[in-house]
Amino acid sequence: MSLANRRILLGVSGGIAAYKSCELVRRLRERGAEVRVVMTAGATHFVGVATFQALSGQPVRTSLWDEQAEAAMGHIELARWAERILVAPASADAIARLAHGHADDLLATLCLASAAPLYLAPAMNQQMWAHPAVQANLATLRARGVHVLGPAAGEQACGDVGSGRMLEPHELRDALAASFGDGALAGLDVVVSAGPTFEDIDPVRFIGNRSSGKMGFAVAQAAAEAGARVTLVAGPVSLPTPPGVAARVDVRSAAQMQAAVLDACARADIYVGAAAVGDYRPAEVAERKLKKQAGADLVLQLAENPDILASLSARPRHPFLVGFAAETHDVAAYARGKLARKGLDMIAANQVGGGLGFETADNALTLYWADGELELPRTGKAELARQLVAEVAARYKASRA
Ligand code: PMT
Q: Which pTM was predicted? A: 0.66
**86/64 Cα distance (integer angstroms):** 18
- Considering the domain architecture, whether residues 196 and 147 belong to the same structural domain is answered as no
- Considering the domain architecture, whether residues 225 and 364 belong to the same structural domain is answered as yes
Choose between 205 and 156: higher pLDDT: 205
Name the domain count of the chain: 2
Examine the pLDDT at 145 and tell me if it is beyond 90: no
pLDDT of residue 181: 66
Q: Look at residue 123 and tell me if it is in a domain.
A: yes
Kindly report, residue by residue over 96-116, the tens digit of the pLDDT.
Answer: 999 999 999 999 999 999 999
* Distance (Å) from CA 218 to ligand 1 centroid: 14
- Considering the domain architecture, whether residues 92 and 167 belong to the same structural domain is answered as yes
* Distance (Å) from CA 327 to ligand 1 centroid: 10
**383/390 Cα distance (integer angstroms):** 11
pLDDT of residue 296: 94
**102/112 Cα distance (integer angstroms):** 8
* Residue from 229, 308, 242 nearest 273 by CA: 308
Ligand 1 touching residue 305 (CB < 6 A): yes
- The residue-averaged pLDDT of 124-138 equals 96
Ligand 1 touching residue 264 (CB < 6 A): no
Q: Look at residue 230 and tell me if it is in a domain.
A: yes
Q: For residue 20, name the pLDDT band (cuts at 50, 70, 90).
A: very high
Q: Look at residue 87 and tell me if it is in a domain.
A: yes
Q: Look at residue 291 and tell me if it is in a domain.
A: no
Backbone angles phi, psi at 291, to 5 degrees: -95, 145
pLDDT of residue 30: 95
Kindly report, residue by residue over 216-254, the tens digit of the pLDDT.
Answer: 999 998 998 888 889 999 999 998 887 667 789 999 999
Examine the pLDDT at 340 and tell me if it is beyond 70: yes
The DSSP H or E segment spanning 282 is strand 280-282
* Distance (Å) from CA 276 to ligand 1 centroid: 3
- Considering the domain architecture, whether residues 245 and 391 belong to the same structural domain is answered as yes
The CATH number of the domain holding residue 219 is: 3.40.50.10300
Kindly report, residue by residue over 59-92, the tens digit of the pLDDT.
Answer: 999 998 877 777 666 788 899 999 999 999 999 9
> What is the b/e burial string over 325-362, where b = at least 16 CB atoms within 10 angstroms of the residue's CB?
bbbeeebeebbbebbeebebbbbbbbbbeeebbbeeee
- Considering the domain architecture, whether residues 147 and 265 belong to the same structural domain is answered as no
Ligand 1 touching residue 212 (CB < 6 A): yes
Report helix, strand or coil for 110: helix
Backbone angles phi, psi at 356, to 5 degrees: -115, 150
Active site residue 158: yes
Choose between 385 and 355: higher pLDDT: 385
- Considering the domain architecture, whether residues 195 and 167 belong to the same structural domain is answered as no
The CATH number of the domain holding residue 137 is: 3.40.50.1950
- Considering the domain architecture, whether residues 201 and 174 belong to the same structural domain is answered as no
- Return the best residue to mutate from 211, 217, 307 for the ligand 1 pocket (most ligand atoms within 8 A of CB): 211
Q: Does the CA dihedral 171-177-180-185 come out positive or negative?
A: negative
- Considering the domain architecture, whether residues 146 and 239 belong to the same structural domain is answered as no
- The residue-averaged pLDDT of 172-200 equals 88
- The residue-averaged pLDDT of 301-306 equals 97
Kindly report, residue by residue over 268-280, the tens digit of the pLDDT.
Answer: 999 999 999 999 9
- Considering the domain architecture, whether residues 109 and 35 belong to the same structural domain is answered as yes
Percent of the chain scored above 70 by pLDDT?
Answer: 98
- Domain, as residue range, for 312: 189-285+299-400
Q: Which atom of ligand 1 is nearest to the CA of 309?
A: 39
Report helix, strand or coil for 2: coil
- The residue-averaged pLDDT of 47-63 equals 96
Examine the pLDDT at 135 and tell me if it is beyond 70: yes
* Distance (Å) from CA 352 to ligand 1 centroid: 11
Burial of 280 (0-12, 13-18, 19+ CB in 10 A): middle
195: left (phi over 0), alpha (psi -120 to 50) or beta: left
